[in-house]
Structure 1
């Protein structure tokens, strides 16, 4: 059976802000305490925007900036649990096909008019049907009829989808604005109000009448318009902006600076060692288990990830509420690896394997070398083939490999079919998962899938990447970015005054 490479890149730029107004004092060190104060200016960045309509921009920095202006129906926290934002509640029918989202009363647009279920329904319909091809459209691929009824939006699906609600982390746009692309003036319900755009900057001011009743501490936001991501890092170094997001490779450059703080968040990127189940050695599940016992994940965590990220024993992130901590684990035990191989009437020296990796990823190349060293320590010969990306994809998809280092980026839906595709053993449980309408039912099926996965071991789970929000140390408060919103709970941030 060929193991298909599935690269599901659901890059959904979603957000929402839930939480209480901060109070009291924020501890900065053993002898310093700071009281939150109103005022000041937060300096952030965006790239030259394609459109200010949050439904259609494909510029990630622009989408993140617009989340200061707009609110979403729901948000997913770091554990991927759903929290209502502009929704007050939601429910699903027993057959899993009809989702009813109740809309919160008393929410006002920045022009003082009320946010309604009609606005929410129009937003979702525009995302699904607009010729501008919203990047949020994949979230609604399964949606059939969308309609507003009273204070609710009713969405009828084509087929059951257990975590459909997770995908409604979509910024809500006023009904009259949903079709506008060019010359769009942002008008949201969020924490900040759009005031002006110049050639080089965008200006926002705090929404004093924000529906949550928790005025942001930081009064103004200046958005510096930059040409690209690389320039944003330079601007951060030059103190022209106060925050920037980065991956682990760039993160290292800023470690040790007393003027720069960081807040980690999971990227949703699952990294694993995939096996070709048609290989004459790896077709044997016991040989796969022997390989698993020979790999010291803690070494990868320390040497490659620099102790950032999350090691995992299943295809899910240990931080997610559906993770099964009781699933079978393959602890590092090279002696046991050798014993298992000998029980198959083989010697480790009988086994020769190729490990395929794309040569444009420094971290994966380092992981590949560690795996090679550890397998060779027990006697298995490993040849690392570092190839260009297109060659990597072609060979992985055609089954021309023994092992490869793979990566899949989960959306907030946490749909495991992209990890488990190609293994018919999982199909009954995957189908059953989509029929679940309660959290307990979902958790039970996720647990069973992880147990079966650990027993079959078509891959070796390795780790989930993290990214970081780097910020100037003058920014204080509850800095808690999410992968869908770097400005999560920004109303809890405040600026240190001299």
Structure 2
């Protein structure tokens, strides 16, 4: 281990391509039995024993990760998750998100946000791994490449352009609309201009293809590193990767669990809260859902804690506001109840002209897309929960193509959806006209108007949440978590939604 001057580095990994696009909202199967979850990636912080090969001493162990040799390590064009996950090990942005999802300076010495722009000043000592200085021209070129990339376009959707001063240290990024959290948008990776085929970055490691592929310590990096070399093994994504961890071939594995399946592993593991919201989309353009009282009744009848615990096997957190509780500004926000409140639901239904009898019951259709066990279990549980308030929910399971078509045509009452929000926590995909997940939402309603005022500085975050919970343009259900599994002799492991190798400088074999 090299002893390096500790200065700390903020690292992150942007959400995968189309991160603000609507993810598949799937369903249709029965609730998974408890036996399915037994011995299935049970969370463990144990560092005794080893999932790796026997006979190795801790000092002999090599930290090893998987990657795809058939894919590039250029973060703008990489297509595989394994290679995209490596981005924060190779590159830095002007900013990066810390453990509380708040943007902090990385390559930037300072960042200033106004209603129309974000100004960043580069650190005087910012250098690439080849020893050359990071310039404003490098950052501007990276911005343009990132904005054109499906991997980062959503993050930069509200950033319209960039200009650099003649001194090559100050950059001004123009905003299409105000965004108090725009500093997070500058977390896109910066590579040296002209090195797109073999990108040169400023992260803690450099890719080496001589001999066995590996990441070697960046000689220009000043933070501490436990591993001077990270070995890379070429594995296809899927079950093969988790088997490689079980056999000790690799040391660490991350799965965002978007497939709805929890990989079975005897390795140590931790849950990693994601910025992925599972929600109930509401067609407010259709009676009776145009009545806020009906939408409030639906929300009150939902047991979010039960959904997170049962339908998602504990790999989720109840969503009581439009923002993840992992985001520091949202920690103290007050919003929806985490548990069902049937009395409130019935009262709201009666206000809307419905009652919990056969005389005038409320019956709705829930649209889901086939193929995901998490959300199929959620659909079944939602029907059970709403029935307690006298609401009949009929689940309609269709192919994803039909699901998309019906959403675009407005042919639905409710739909089960999921969206991964970008690092700036922007809700435009859900609350803006033409948004990727704004199906059925009244984008001219009270919640959408309050959101625009919050972004413009006329409302506090809590005031916006108050307006949201009164209007209920859509119903947040839960925030999903991913899974980080690793060799049991590895200590200090941490991960975030934006950097699955967060704090890797302090990871070590015990």
TM-score bin (small chain): 0.7 to 0.9
Query: Does 2:465 match 1:450?
Result: yes
Which of 384, 396, 399 pairs up with 2:407?
Answer: 396
CA positional deviation for 1:376: 2.3
What CA distance in whole angstroms lies between the structure 1 residues aligned with 2:363 and 2:156?
Answer: 46
- Partner SS for 1:217: coil
* CA displacement, residues 152-197 of structure 1 (integer Å, 9 cap, x when unaligned): 23224153341332111122212342xx33xx2x433222233325
Which of 203, 221, 240 pairs up with 1:190?
Answer: 203
| Count of residue pairs the alignment pairs up | 444
Which of 435, 455, 476 pairs up with 2:456?
Answer: 435
Which of 140, 144, 152 pairs up with 2:169?
Answer: 152
Partner of 1:277 in structure 2? Answer: 284
What CA distance in whole angstroms lies between the structure 2 residues aligned with 1:59 and 1:118?
Answer: 28
What CA distance in whole angstroms lies between the structure 1 residues aligned with 2:47 and 2:173?
Answer: 52
* CA displacement, residues 77-127 of structure 1 (integer Å, 9 cap, x when unaligned): 34321111111111134xx33322111122333233333334323332444
Paired residues of 2:217 and 2:229 also in contact (CA < 8 A): yes
* CA displacement, residues 39-79 of structure 1 (integer Å, 9 cap, x when unaligned): 85211011234323333323331122243222222111343
**Gapped regions of structure 1 (runs ≥ 5):** 1-6, 12-26, 31-36
Q: How does 1:109-120 map to 2 (within 5 A)?
A: 109-120=128-139
* CA displacement, residues 215-250 of structure 1 (integer Å, 9 cap, x when unaligned): x11222111112333432232232211111124444
**Gapped regions of structure 2 (runs ≥ 5):** 1-16, 22-44, 49-57, 433-441
* CA displacement, residues 404-450 of structure 1 (integer Å, 9 cap, x when unaligned): 112221011211122223330244434334434xxxx7xx4432221
Q: Does 370-379 or 427-436 show the bigger shift?
A: 427-436
Paired residues of 2:18 and 2:154 also in contact (CA < 8 A): no
Paired residues of 2:142 and 2:193 also in contact (CA < 8 A): yes
- Partner SS for 1:424: coil
What CA distance in whole angstroms lies between the structure 1 residues aligned with 2:292 and 2:156?
Answer: 38
What CA distance in whole angstroms lies between the structure 1 residues aligned with 2:299 and 2:373?
Answer: 23
What is the TM-score of this pair, normalised by structure 2?
Answer: 0.79
What CA distance in whole angstroms lies between the structure 1 residues aligned with 2:371 and 2:336?
Answer: 33
Which of 364, 367, 378 pairs up with 1:356?
Answer: 367
What CA distance in whole angstroms lies between the structure 2 residues aligned with 1:159 and 1:325?
Answer: 27
Q: How does 1:196-211 map to 2 (within 5 A)?
A: 196-197=209-210, 201-207=212-218, 209-211=220-222
Q: Does 342-351 or 42-51 show the bigger shift?
A: 342-351
CA distance 1:210–1:122, change in 2 (3 Å):
same
What CA distance in whole angstroms lies between the structure 1 residues aligned with 2:491 and 2:168?
Answer: 38
Q: How does 1:52-63 map to 2 (within 5 A)?
A: 52-63=73-84
CA positional deviation for 1:138: 4.5
- Partner SS for 1:67: helix
CA positional deviation for 1:134: 6.4
- Partner SS for 2:329: coil
Partner of 2:68 in structure 1? Answer: 47
CA distance 1:128–1:149, change in 2 (3 Å):
farther
Paired residues of 2:279 and 2:476 also in contact (CA < 8 A): yes
Query: Does 2:152 match 1:136?
Result: yes
What CA distance in whole angstroms lies between the structure 2 residues aligned with 1:51 and 1:147?
Answer: 29
CA positional deviation for 1:303: 1.1
What CA distance in whole angstroms lies between the structure 2 residues aligned with 1:166 and 1:395?
Answer: 34
What CA distance in whole angstroms lies between the structure 1 residues aligned with 2:287 and 2:190?
Answer: 53
Which of 98, 105, 125 pairs up with 1:106?
Answer: 125
Which of 6, 19, 24 pairs up with 1:9?
Answer: 19
Partner of 2:443 in structure 1? Answer: 423
Q: How does 1:312-323 map to 2 (within 5 A)?
A: 312-323=319-330
Query: Does 2:334 match 1:334?
Result: no
Partner of 1:301 in structure 2? Answer: 308
Paired residues of 1:276 and 1:401 also in contact (CA < 8 A): yes
CA distance 1:38–1:137, change in 2 (3 Å):
farther
CA positional deviation for 1:341: 3.0
Which of 57, 75, 97 pairs up with 2:96?
Answer: 75
CA positional deviation for 1:300: 1.2
Which of 301, 318, 333 pairs up with 1:325?
Answer: 333
Query: Does 2:485 match 1:473?
Result: no
Paired residues of 2:136 and 2:170 also in contact (CA < 8 A): yes
Paired residues of 1:292 and 1:330 also in contact (CA < 8 A): no
